[in-house]
Amino acid sequence: MAVDYYKILGVSKDATEDQIKKAYRKLARKWHPDINPGDAGAEKKFKDISEAYHALSDKERRKLYDEFGEEGLKSGFDAEQARQYQQWQKSGFRGGGGSGSASWGGSAGADQGFGRYQSYEDIFGGFEDMGDLFGFGGRSGSRQEFGRTPRGRKGRDLEHEMTIDLMQALRGFETELALQKPSTCSACSGTGTDRAGAASTCGTCGGSGRINVGEGPMNFTKVCPQCNGTGTVGPACGTCRGTGQEMRTERIRVNIPKGVREGAKVRVSGKAEPGASGGPSGDLYLKVRIRPHPLIERKGDDLQMEVPLTVQEAIAGATITIPTVEGMVNLKIPPKSQSGKTLKLKGKGAVNMKTKKPGDLLVKLTVQVPATDDEGAVAAAKEMEKFYKGDVREKLRL
């Protein structure tokens, strides 16, 4: 029975990415195994919810699911090949001289050409490489057949967001993540078929693992989309519903490089969707989101920070201690420093991930007056008035 992932998440088929994410988070909080310890039903529900979100949260996977259903999410599924096969089935492609056939002689009309192929380029363009056409390592038959054993396909890449602090981004760190991700099904080892069930010859390709896409003096074939080139089919695995994959929580060690920027993607090789037919797993891409810091702001590779000064430090000058990404440093304040003056500490900014060179730390000085009603402080401030030369707001014009 087909599974409706939209129904599992409780959203409509035209739901936005935001609506899908909100629905998943709400259901995940309710059915998470940590909240329902020892409840097998809740664990199954959480697994179904995670599987549905995995299918619908990614634009490409959702598109495949909408077009092909669960079949489109199977490991190694080739959407283009499936579309060609559907077109081939509808067209009733046959060799010979009939309508829609591949005509190799000069007697066929211009509208017939090469059947669904209109030129030699169309014919050769329908094959993965020349091995598909000339059968390197292929099988022999009563006639010369052209085909080969299908290659293993790399699994699809996955993308997840992770939110970190600005200081973590600037310093870099190593962490361990627990991710719900598709893994090779433990029950069927990724085949998608029930091991206990009896396998039978594929009815689409007759057990050859290939289907004809044209007949004539030469026989053109492609990998059978029904059995994925194995030549046999069996009952679907009850654990993964024939997809060859199941959602599992995996703990992954991740190294976040020093200086990573907002929106950057950190690649973790081989930690995404498992491959098909012995192919390698896809790669996991972690899209970094950075929480703002209350004191420091990043601008390119430079960092900006405001540092308060006392009135005396601003007038007489001083050496103060301030924090940086690498620790505390001394900063020399020139005499007569005005509020808003910016000092530069070279090489104390963010590390550029490409050049590995750091930017600068830009320190903006802000003069702080005492927050007091003490008469002595007020008298001292009045005494200072005589040291101002003219009106301090003289140039304040719009």
Read off the pLDDT band of 342 (50, 70, 90). very high
For residues 346 and 75, give the distance between their C-alpha atoms in angstroms, rounded to a whole number: 52
Q: Which of 64-73, 83-92, 303-312 has the highest mean pLDDT?
A: 303-312
Burial class (CB in 10 A: 0-12, 13-18, 19+), 52: buried
Residue extents of the structural domains in the chain: 1-57, 158-198+234-291, 296-387
Backbone angles phi, psi at 47, to 5 degrees: -65, -45
- Do domains 158-198+234-291 and 296-387 share one topology? The answer is yes
Structural tokens at position 300: 């390119």
What's the sign of the alpha-carbon dihedral 11, 16, 19, 20?
positive
What is the rounded end-to-end Cα distance, in angstroms, of the chain?
Answer: 73
The closest alpha carbon to 3, from 319, 342, 247, belongs to: 247
Sort residue 18 into left (φ over 0), alpha (ψ -120 to 50) or beta: alpha
The confidence score (pLDDT) of residue 384 equals 92
Mean pLDDT, residues 128-141 taken together: 40
For residue range 159-180, list pLDDT tens digits in order: 888 999 999 999 999 999 887 7
| Domain 296-387 architecture | Sandwich (2.60)
pLDDT surpasses 50 at 185? yes
pTM, entire model: 0.57
**CATH code assigned to 158-198+234-291:** 2.60.260.20
pLDDT surpasses 70 at 304? yes
List alpha helices for the chain, DSSP H: 5-9, 17-31, 40-56, 59-68, 79-91, 120-125, 130-134, 166-171, 311-316, 375-384
Type of residue at 216? G
Backbone angles phi, psi at 70, to 5 degrees: -60, -30
Read off the pLDDT band of 202 (50, 70, 90). confident
For residue range 243-282, list pLDDT tens digits in order: 778 888 888 899 999 999 999 999 999 888 888 767 888 8
For residues 174 and 303, give the distance between their C-alpha atoms in angstroms, rounded to a whole number: 23
The confidence score (pLDDT) of residue 335 equals 96
For residues 329 and 166, give the distance between their C-alpha atoms in angstroms, rounded to a whole number: 20
The confidence score (pLDDT) of residue 217 equals 52
**Mean of per-residue pLDDT scores for the chain:** 80
Find the range with the poorest average confidence among 43-47, 139-143, 206-210, 225-229: 139-143
pLDDT surpasses 70 at 130? no
Q: 1-57: what fold?
A: Helix Hairpins (1.10.287)
What's the sign of the alpha-carbon dihedral 258, 261, 262, 268?
negative
Read off the pLDDT band of 121 (50, 70, 90). very low
pLDDT surpasses 50 at 127? no
Polymer length of the chain = 398
pLDDT surpasses 90 at 211? no
The confidence score (pLDDT) of residue 89 equals 64
Q: Which residue has the higher pLDDT, 100 or 393?
A: 393
pLDDT surpasses 50 at 236? yes
pLDDT surpasses 80 at 321? yes
**How many other C-beta atoms are found inside a 10 Å radius of the C-beta of residue 206?**
12
